[in-house]
A = this chain, B = another copy of it.
Amino acid sequence: MHELRVRYGECDPQGIVFNANYLLYFDVAFTELWREAVGPWTEMTERGIDAVVAETALRFRAPARFDDVIGIALRIERLGRSSIATAFDVVRGDDVLVEGTMRHVVLSRETWRPVEMPGWVRAGLEPYAAG
């Protein structure tokens, strides 16, 4: 669970978080999971490996507002040969505000094409993957 506080500039004239910004929040939470599981994102890119989002889906159930403290809970649903499927819940207290999924693909920074996930990435992520 990664916590953050909603910034004013992330909210729109309806007074709520503009929908695009939840993808920004997912990215922040995923980066923090990565730090804990594998290490800083930039250590990976320095080793010639990167990851990009191939697919995402979001369901907006209730709005977050300026200055709300929200949590982003995430769990890895599936580790494939070169892909990582993650589920996200944005919560405020007991309320689930947004549910989402993302599928990342691991790439070579030389060819920008998918590659098999290196062992040190897989080993880091496996403890976070769903049973």
Contacts and interface: CB of A to CB of B under 8 A. Distances in A.
A89 interface: no
15 contacts: A7-B24, A8-B31, A8-B41, A9-B12, A9-B20, A13-B15, A13-B66, A19-B56, A20-B22, A23-B23, A52-B60, A53-B60, A55-B57, A56-B57, A57-B58
The number of chain A residues touching the other chain, given as a range, is 20 to 34
A59 interface: yes
Contact of A13 (B11, B20, B58): B11
A67 B53 CA distance: 18
A7 B28 CA distance: 6
Copies of the protein in its oligomer: 4
Interface string A1-40: 0000001110111110011111110011001000000001
Interface of A: 7-9, 11-15, 18-24, 27-28, 31, 40-42, 50, 52-60, 66-67
Contacts of A58: 55-57
A102 to B, nearest CB: 9
